[in-house]
Structure 1
């Protein structure tokens, strides 16, 4: 039943449909059914979609690591485990809530839930982010991202040994047909290009430097999974957890370590670096000391 509804109402995620069913908002022939109910020809299916609660971003006293700030921009180091802006699943305790507490000056272009947000990092990805403090800065930075002139470098630990020293993944990415919350490589997807360079090889793992040329949702994670080298700790694009449990890793090993762009006011070249968080350093140390093979 849930799959049938997802196919007919693609704007709803499968988890949202399952929640509607469990809350009694879906009827088959005027009767409530489970998500596993088999739909038959001639069934009358009614789906009631209650309005979502109105979200509002409020200032919250959350500590954030600001690396640089002036009248136009903020460069911060985002920790893993926190989302960038409020959403139905994460209405508070986001980077935006922390920014609103830190300053009254944020661009309005992103709307009330995304003030100042020019680009995003996934919840379990750590590292560098740029924030715009006014609309002119936001427009300028957005253009730089659009023109692919912003250089973003990530560090990732992946499963498997990558034998070539460097490479490029050029494969279109779009919304997964099976799970609307996931992205995947599909023929009708948008152009997506990722470059990588090997930094160190372990028994069955590789530490790489990654540069996404385009900026699709989950791009690095999807591309690395696509070539059979998924990011360690990425439970969304890789099921097995044995090595993550051993390393006591409660996040995926992906860190935005370097960010180069031009200052939106005067065009000055700006470059920032962010070291690996301690939990990722500890994981590397364990691999080096034990030389584990999973």
Structure 2
């Protein structure tokens, strides 16, 4: 059901574009706010307004908001290539293939880790939002490698706390364009949503603190293989940080990678793999660690860049 809202424009939005003002006021994405305006469902002082019109404090805003989307469901669905590395009464550790999201989300119609694990018969913790129960951290759909899910309520609580307090070891390998200078270092730059693209993130003043450590393992003519350790876990953190340094992950066209190089290496996604994951087991307190080999597409690309060097 749609909702009609009528209110004066707050002082803090003075001079802002209407689409940005609606996004700020009602928690919409910029795209959704623009859709409301383009549908003729927003007016200022009784006059239909365009998305680029500037709002004035005290002007009367009338807007009809769309009904919120139904929450996505996490139905059991077999996921080819999803491999269980370890499982017990508290956790399931999986090796995630490419093209699989961590959990259902609006707009995503592909397979998910949550659905795949459920289809294998594993019981997942009921803590967390309905569509992401048991999920204590995530990988992008285009990133492969290790994820842990909680299968008990105790494990969910303890693992969420461990990730929040940075007590988990998360090690990635990334093939990035060019040669980062210095060859070993730390990127400490805040990340938030891209100011003009809802589906991307960027280094933004005032964003969430984000820290990435890296070390060069091999340098090639066109690229470098890095070992990357995350101190924080922001969405797209590795991809955003190395793009900001002008060394995007090879194949990551979303964040500025060279499409010619990607095609030459046979890549259709970012060269990024979660290859090692370590944490205190939530039941025993013992340190456990898991490793994952490169999937075929990343290994092939790496072999090709080595051969060119």
Q: Specify the SS of the correspondent of 1:229.
A: coil
User: Does the C-alpha gap of structure 1 residues 150 and 252 become closer, same or farther in structure 2, counting only changes over 3 Å?
Assistant: same
Query: What is the TM-score normalised by the length of structure 1?
Result: 0.88
After superposition, where does 1:158-173 map in structure 2 within 5 Å? 158-173=176-191
d(CA) in 2 for partners of 1:201, 1:135: 44
- Contact 2:248-2:255 at 8 Å conserved across structures: yes
Aligned to 1:86: 104
User: Does the C-alpha gap of structure 1 residues 138 and 5 become closer, same or farther in structure 2, counting only changes over 3 Å?
Assistant: same
Aligned to 2:245: 227
Let me know the Cα RMSD of the aligned residues.
2.6
Alpha-carbon distance, 1:100 to partner: 1.7
User: Does the C-alpha gap of structure 1 residues 25 and 113 become closer, same or farther in structure 2, counting only changes over 3 Å?
Assistant: farther
Alpha-carbon distance, 1:217 to partner: 1.4
Alpha-carbon distance, 1:106 to partner: 0.9
d(CA) in 2 for partners of 1:173, 1:114: 23
Structure 1 residue 39 and structure 2 residue 53: aligned?
A: yes
Deviations 1:206-240 (A, max 9, x none): 11000011111111111111222111111222164
- Contact 1:13-1:179 at 8 Å conserved across structures: no
User: Does the C-alpha gap of structure 1 residues 38 and 216 become closer, same or farther in structure 2, counting only changes over 3 Å?
Assistant: closer
Name stretches of at least 5 consecutive residues in structure 2 with no aligned partner. 1-16
- Contact 1:119-1:130 at 8 Å conserved across structures: yes
d(CA) in 2 for partners of 1:231, 1:180: 20
Alpha-carbon distance, 1:140 to partner: 1.1
After superposition, where does 1:1-150 map in structure 2 within 5 Å? 4-10=18-24, 11-17=27-33, 20=36, 24=39, 26=41, 39=53, 46-63=63-80, 64-91=82-109, 93-150=111-168
Q: Specify the SS of the correspondent of 2:160.
A: helix
User: Does the C-alpha gap of structure 1 residues 56 and 25 become closer, same or farther in structure 2, counting only changes over 3 Å?
Assistant: farther
d(CA) in 1 for partners of 2:182, 2:96: 31
State how many pairs are aligned. 287
After superposition, where does 1:275-294 map in structure 2 within 5 Å? 275-291=293-309
Name stretches of at least 5 consecutive residues in structure 1 with no aligned partner. none
Alpha-carbon distance, 1:27 to partner: 5.6
- Contact 2:18-2:54 at 8 Å conserved across structures: no
- Contact 1:222-1:237 at 8 Å conserved across structures: yes
Q: Specify the SS of the correspondent of 1:121.
A: coil
Alpha-carbon distance, 1:66 to partner: 0.5
